[in-house]
Structure 1
Amino acid sequence: MIEVDKMLEKCGDFGRLQWIMLLLFSLLNVLSALHYYSQTIISFVPKYWCADGLDPLAPVPNVSSCSPLDINANHSAICHSYRYEPYMGYQSFSNEMHWICRKAWMLSLGQSMFFVGSVIGTLVLGFLADIMGRVPMLVLSNILGMMGNVLTIFSKNLTLFCIFRLIAGLATDANFLMMYILVMEYMRPSLRTVGLTICIGVFYCLGSMGVPWIAVFMGNWRGFLLAISLPCCLVPFFYFIVPESVQWLISKHKYDKAVACLKRVAKINRRQIDDSAYAQFIEDCKVSQKNMQTSKPNILGLFKTPRLRRNTLILFFKSMVITLCYDAVSRNVQGLGISPFMMFTLSASSILPACLMIIALQDRIGRKAMTSISLLLSGIFISVSGFILYTGSTANNQTTTVLVTLSMIGRFGVTMAYNSGAQYATELIPTCVRGQGVGAVHVMGYAFTFFSVYILDTRRVFSPLPEIILGVISLVGACLTLLLPETLNRTLPISLEDGEQFGISDHWYTFSCLKKRTQSVAALAPQRGMSLSKSTDSSDYF
């Protein structure tokens, strides 16, 4: 709402309150990283081999094996017990429950339920956020994540593990997104992209790099889950610090509470505002709401016309590809000839450079170029690492260095694609259905991550197969992204009709960085008879 941004200028849109909210958002980025990657850390599979009839002094095999080895006294075809060589002494859930070889499907199923929970949680908590508010859902989602992780400690069978991981998954996305929305709404528009991206790039990166070493320090998966869950006890106190969304309060006609939030902002930012200014603000909001159409289009309108339907389906597929690759690449830290803990940290270190690269290039070369090049980059380097796995030996130090480097570059590319693609989708979907459309695109992406565990499990069939699958779908996603219109420096679509006509003259080779700006955003304003949204204003994202 334009009225809200104007009022925030008076109350302070980059003062003490905004610094406090950025600090809390930074903390949530760390907690979000710990929660998201806990699923990977507790599931690490150490080196294992058959222990049937094995001499206690027998040497440790070079590779894991599900079948009895030559050193086993018992040469039966089926192994009944195993020995493990934990990474850095860390006891994971998989080796404690012996969910390997014939029982490996149990671990994959349990991991998949985490993402089933994330889809349910994104839908349900997002719906409740529109009814009860952003702050309550921020607190609830983090409590659900903490409960799910703590309950997982008491998992003794597959059923309990699946239920508790599903509960933990409910928090994924909402535990971060609600605060993202609140910070964005209270931040000065010109500083939103930089402020939010820096917080994500620095603190999500630190949380991702540190999560494996918390596991090493605790020594076992139970202590690790407890250690990452306890800090979530701080989040309920956000309820008393973080103001509710003024835009949401206005949309629900809760004018008194909206004014109370604005007065609180002004007080913290040490601004003196006359009561008449608040009264005028409420009147402006009422007039604006009265002029709004009573009937609004819904998400089904995105599929009624050919071009808008094509673009929407491409956005769905792109979200699936990017989210799947992002999750799978971040998990793919074993079998590369280096400790998975070290590989996890090295891979996560690419998050900050990727965010900085987006800040530096996205508003220069455009969303289309940024997303497609990022996917192309990750697809090529992930595929090449699979080829090296097939032709080389991870025991060779030089080969290991190459694999690690390629994996890091692949993670760098897919991180850029993930962050850039999210903004691209938000700008392409018309304003009238933007909330519903972005939510649907987001959910489709999370739903597809269900398969990431099974893609990585194909390594047991053919060593480089996960890299081949991820590389191919990344390249397909990069090609399909070329069919989308550019949004940089253009008036974003407001109605469904605008969405159908948006970028109608664009070709697959049309990039904003290769041609001069052909249409002035300001020049289009009189044609619409209303204020226009620019693609660089993230106030339209939610």
Structure 2
Amino acid sequence: MVRKMQKRDIGTQATGDTGDNNDNTAERLPHRTSEEKSQQTGSYHGRDFRIQSENSSIASDEDKSRPSAVEIDTYIDFDDLLPEIGEFGCYQKMLFLLMIPFCFISAYVYLSQIFMTLTPEKYYCFVHDLTLIESEQERKELSIPKLKDGSYSRCEMYDTNYTAIYKAKNRTQFMNSSLPRIPCREGYVFSSSEAFFTANIEFGWVCDNDFYATYAQMIFFLGSVLGCLGYGHFADHCGRLAALVSSCSLAFFGSLFTGMTKNFWSFVVTRLIVGAAYDTCFTMIYILMLEYVGPKYRTFVANMSLAMFYSPFTMLIPWIAIYLHSWRSFALYGCIPLAFGFVSFCCLPESARWLVSRGKIDDAIDILKRVAARNKRVVPPVYWKRFRESCELFYKEEFEGRNFTVFSIFKRPRLARYMVFMCLIWMIMSLLYDGHVRAASVLDKENVAVVFTIACATELPGDLLVIVTLDRFGRRWCAFTFTTLSGLFSLVGANLSHPTHTLVAALAGRFFANVCYNIGLQWAAEVLPTVVRAQGISLIHTLGFAAMLLSPPVIYLSNLSLSLMLNTLGGLGIVGGIICLFLPETLYEDLPQTLSDGNNFGKDQRMWHQPCCGEGRRRIAHTKHTWHEGSSLRTLSRDEFRSKKLHRVAVVKTRASRQYAPSFVSVSRGPSLLSQGTEILQRVQNLRQDSTHQKPK
């Protein structure tokens, strides 16, 4: 869905950012002792802005013409810059409010398909020869057989001569329940009390043709899979804003032409187009929002945007459909908000991270300066200079270094196992969530709008529960608990005889499915290493859409038995919860950045590891990456670095000074920046001491 989603490219940006939200500062800044940190703390918002003059007492006259050690040593990343330009100021609040129309777009694109193909509850076979009989009850008695419960069949009629019945003076003699039965052959009569005129009613997708609605739902998700793959490539090459505008445009024209379709094939083609836009039309604004928000606000903003905007719109969708009454009107008028995507270029900024990745560093800095100006923050020029140099170095290293693909994950056994488990968990969570969303339309067919609204209302407390529990009890046990509870309540509901009790249990299963779905994508972003995080998340998200292809067939099982449908969802929840226990906990952990880190991640955790109850670790020694330099854009492992510049900890020159540097510290040919008692010398000595106790990778 859109949901929550939506969130494929959150792997590219936002999911990576969400994962970085739990990284400690040491992952992005050089490793320093507490004494060094206190020495290097500047007066401007806790940042280090000391320049060359501080080193004048320890450097020669020749050194004064060179950049300071701090300028060379420190890399400024986006997460380092955000506190200076404002983490959640006026600009970010404006972006937060601009998510409102896109949340409606997301809810409409995802849920409109359900109501357009909603199967009516009351109908029976149409018999043309009996249309002139005024009494509907008499027509049913003459043509429609009764079922065991006393109701009239919806898909069968008597095989007899209806012309003779109509002309007979005494029609009651032809009322014979022992007559042979045949499927409806002249169409159907639908109840005038139906609140919404669906495509199923217009095209006759009921009884033997009811599979057409299921196929239409599946083709919608097929479009989502294709769109997920296509727009991932498009967004990387043309920009996040371009992907947002084009996907909204695609959804607009797809919905517009949906209201003009005349048959099944034209209907599914337009829904395939709308499905291709689904996910992207929300995740791009979701990414932009999270990118410009500071790390400590991202969990709050990510979940509150869904709780405050997305959830209320999902509750509103069925009532909009009922108000418009017809599926064609719903398709035509409902797409009007999609036109907001056309003006996104005027309201939204481009992704600054994407601009840097494409070498457009000046454009990225211009946007960030506008953010600082709107937030009324003043950033010293030296800080912009360091940020520019960091971006230029990163851009150069991207082209000089090695490239990693999602297939690199499967070269490391433990990391490959994590990837397989995460794919399975996300597919189960996606199928479980989407299955429960669609189940609301069949749990009580006489009160679909009311039940659907109540089911969607569970989104809000579910989002709030994630905020309260996820950073307290950890990802693993939360995912296990909520996924298992979703499965258990579904199983309980399947085996209850009273319809109201079954409905309540199924809604409880829906509530916990909401919670586990919110956990899944963030957890995947934290388990996967930085160097393959974007591609890994994209693959996982695509497989999630592929799993959603199975949710319409699962809901179709309700035509056979409601218990069979709920038992299937319950079994999926139990299996998914068990698999969650085989992934590592990421709360309070230094998240992996390289393939080697990912392969070693979680090795020291015991099976019952629970962050809120203690570390739960095995007592083994850890290898510290003491030579890691600053930016979270960089990798750590020596055999996976993108450029040899990544090993530079200090600029060293003279033979005498080399004795203080460990073997992996690069040595330049420039003038020395080391002298006795300096900060740089102290850092190198600390590195040398660490290297004598542990061998670097």
Task: Work out whether the TM-score is over 0.5.
Answer: yes
Distance change in 2, residues 1:279/1:157 (3 Å): same
Q: CA separation in 2, counterparts of 1:62 and 1:15?
A: 62
Q: CA separation in 2, counterparts of 1:42 and 1:202?
A: 26
Deviations 1:79-104, CA, capped at 9 Å, x for gaps? 12222236652101111110111111
Distance change in 2, residues 1:230/1:513 (3 Å): same
Measured after TM superposition, the shift of residue 20 of structure 1 is 0.8
5 Å matches for 1:45-56? 45-47=119-121, 48-52=123-127
Partner of 2:488: 380
SS in 2 for 1:297: coil
Partner of 2:614: 515
Q: CA separation in 1, counterparts of 2:300 and 2:624?
A: 27
Deviations 1:415-468, CA, capped at 9 Å, x for gaps? 111110111111111111000000100000001111111111122233321111
Distance change in 2, residues 1:10/1:505 (3 Å): closer
Which residue of the other structure, out of 57, 66, 91, is the alignment partner of 2:135? 57
Deviations 1:471-522, CA, capped at 9 Å, x for gaps? 11111111111111111111111111111111124354333334336599xx
5 Å matches for 1:99-498? 99-273=205-379, 277-290=383-396, 294-337=401-444, 338-388=446-496, 392=497, 399-498=498-597
Measured after TM superposition, the shift of residue 78 of structure 1 is 1.6
Which residue of the other structure, out of 22, 29, 39, is the alignment partner of 2:103? 29
Q: CA separation in 2, counterparts of 1:168 and 1:487?
A: 36
Q: Which has the higher contact order (CA 8 A, sep 6+)?
A: 2
Deviations 1:216-268, CA, capped at 9 Å, x for gaps? 10011111122321011112222112111111111111122112212222332
Q: CA separation in 2, counterparts of 1:329 and 1:448?
A: 14
Deviations 1:30-72, CA, capped at 9 Å, x for gaps? 2211210001011111122223358653458857622237899
Give the greater-gyration-radius structure (CA): 2
Q: CA separation in 1, counterparts of 2:427 and 2:99?
A: 26
Structure 2 residue 201 is matched with structure 1 residue 95: yes
Asked if structure 1 preserves the Cα contact closer than 8 Å seen for 2:527 and 2:598, the reply is yes
Q: CA separation in 1, counterparts of 2:178 and 2:329?
A: 37
> What is the aligned-residue RMSD (CA, Å)?
2.5
Measured after TM superposition, the shift of residue 9 of structure 1 is 2.9
Q: CA separation in 2, counterparts of 1:506 and 1:356?
A: 28
Measured after TM superposition, the shift of residue 291 of structure 1 is 5.1
TM-score, length basis structure 2 = 0.71
Asked if structure 1 preserves the Cα contact closer than 8 Å seen for 2:475 and 2:519, the reply is yes
By percentage of residues, which structure has more helix?
1
Larger CA deviation: 184-193 vs 455-464:
455-464
Which residue of the other structure, out of 586, 592, 599, is the alignment partner of 1:500? 599
Q: CA separation in 1, counterparts of 2:467 and 2:631?
A: 23
Distance change in 2, residues 1:269/1:400 (3 Å): same
SS in 2 for 1:108: helix
Partner of 1:538: none
Partner of 2:156: 67
Measured after TM superposition, the shift of residue 170 of structure 1 is 0.9
Asked if structure 1 preserves the Cα contact closer than 8 Å seen for 2:442 and 2:558, the reply is no
Larger CA deviation: 399-408 vs 107-116:
399-408
Residue correspondences, number: 522
Distance change in 2, residues 1:297/1:87 (3 Å): farther
Q: CA separation in 1, counterparts of 2:227 and 2:212?
A: 23
Asked if structure 1 preserves the Cα contact closer than 8 Å seen for 2:361 and 2:391, the reply is no
SS in 1 for 2:109: helix
Amino acid at match of 2:538: G
Distance change in 2, residues 1:4/1:222 (3 Å): same
Deviations 1:115-135, CA, capped at 9 Å, x for gaps? 011111111111111111111
SS in 1 for 2:181: coil
Measured after TM superposition, the shift of residue 272 of structure 1 is 4.1
Asked if structure 1 preserves the Cα contact closer than 8 Å seen for 2:529 and 2:594, the reply is yes
Amino acid at match of 1:27: P
SS in 2 for 1:89: coil
Distance change in 2, residues 1:64/1:406 (3 Å): farther
Partner of 2:78: 4
Distance change in 2, residues 1:158/1:507 (3 Å): farther
SS in 1 for 2:190: strand
SS in 2 for 1:243: coil
Identity %: 31
Amino acid at match of 1:78: P
Asked if structure 1 preserves the Cα contact closer than 8 Å seen for 2:409 and 2:416, the reply is yes
Asked if structure 2 preserves the Cα contact closer than 8 Å seen for 1:122 and 1:443, the reply is yes
TM-score, length basis structure 1 = 0.90
Q: CA separation in 1, counterparts of 2:195 and 2:543?
A: 38
Asked if structure 2 preserves the Cα contact closer than 8 Å seen for 1:31 and 1:207, the reply is no
Deviations 1:388-412, CA, capped at 9 Å, x for gaps? 2xxx2xxxxxx33322211221111
Distance change in 2, residues 1:408/1:63 (3 Å): farther
Asked if structure 1 preserves the Cα contact closer than 8 Å seen for 2:604 and 2:617, the reply is no
Asked if structure 1 preserves the Cα contact closer than 8 Å seen for 2:606 and 2:617, the reply is no
Amino acid at match of 2:436: V
Q: CA separation in 1, counterparts of 2:176 and 2:488?
A: 41
Distance change in 2, residues 1:310/1:526 (3 Å): closer
Asked if structure 2 preserves the Cα contact closer than 8 Å seen for 1:91 and 1:221, the reply is yes
Deviations 1:255-288, CA, capped at 9 Å, x for gaps? 2211221222233223344655434421222234
Amino acid at match of 1:347: A
Larger CA deviation: 373-382 vs 499-508:
499-508
Measured after TM superposition, the shift of residue 112 of structure 1 is 0.9
Amino acid at match of 2:97: L
SS in 1 for 2:605: coil
SS in 1 for 2:387: helix
Asked if structure 2 preserves the Cα contact closer than 8 Å seen for 1:367 and 1:420, the reply is yes
Q: Which runs of 5+ in 1 are unaligned?
A: 393-398, 534-542
Distance change in 2, residues 1:112/1:65 (3 Å): same
Measured after TM superposition, the shift of residue 524 of structure 1 is 7.1
Q: Which runs of 5+ in 2 are unaligned?
A: 1-27, 29-75, 141-149, 159-174, 633-697
Q: CA separation in 1, counterparts of 2:611 and 2:95?
A: 35
Q: CA separation in 1, counterparts of 2:269 and 2:78?
A: 42
Asked if structure 2 preserves the Cα contact closer than 8 Å seen for 1:347 and 1:408, the reply is yes
Which residue of the other structure, out of 169, 184, 191, is the alignment partner of 1:85? 191
Measured after TM superposition, the shift of residue 387 of structure 1 is 1.6
